[in-house]
Amino acid sequence: MASLGELERSVMTLLWESEQPLSANEVCEQLDEDLAVTTVLTVLARLEKKGMVLRARSSRPHRYAAVASREEHTVEMLNEVLGTVPDREAVLARFIGSVSESEAAALRRILG
């Protein structure tokens, strides 16, 4: 039996690859694993709470869609990290401006 985390991943992958919103039944059918619809509904509810999927309430049964594509989420996630990376080139340039002749030779040897 797959863990909830793994199920969340497979459900998300399914929704990312799907052209249109899916109902819990459809998700259940398309997943390889032999799962109860209630389990899929639990997973979908968790993903909705995490802000990863949107539920369309206008239709019955409710249909679920990914909030953003996989790539958009990756970019959002890495921006949180990259936003804090300093201008590395500026630091390196300033450093290289201050190194001695022997250190510069060592740098060239290492990086060259």
Partner 1 sequence: MELLALFLAALAVILAIPVPKLLHTASFRGRSPWAAMVLWQAIALAGGLSMVGAPIIYGLAPFGDSLPHALGGAVQLTLTEDYESLGQLDVHPQHIFALCLGLLLGGHLVLTLARTYFRVLGARRRHRQLVDLLSTPLPNTVDDADTQVIEHETPLAYCLPGRTNASSVTVLSRGLLNTLSESELGAVVAHEQTHLRQRHHLLTVTFEAWYRALPWLPTNRYGREAVLELTEMLADDGALAQYSPETLLRSLALSSFETASHRDAPGSALEVDEDVPATSNTLITGARLQRLLAPTEPLGKLAMFGVVSSSAALLAVPTGLLLLS
Interacting residue ranges for partner 1, rule: CB under 8 A: 5, 8-9, 12, 50, 52, 70, 73-88, 91-92, 94-95, 98-99, 103, 106-107, 110-111
Q: Write down the least CB distance from residue 84 to partner 1, Å.
A: 4
Nearer CB in complex with partner 1: 61/104? 104
CB of residue 59 vs partner 1: minimum separation in angstroms? 25
CB crowding 56-69: b at 16 or more within 10 Å, else e: eeeeeeebbebeee
- Give the amino acid at 109: R
**Alpha helices in the chain, H assignment, sequence order:** 4-17, 24-30, 37-49, 70-82, 88-98, 101-111
Distance between CA 14 and CA 8 in Å, rounded?
Answer: 10
**Shortest distance (Å) from residue 60 CB to partner 1:** 28
Residue with smaller CB distance to partner 1, 57 or 110: 110
Q: Of 17 and 103, which CB lies nearer to partner 1 in the complex structure?
A: 103
DSSP, res 1: -
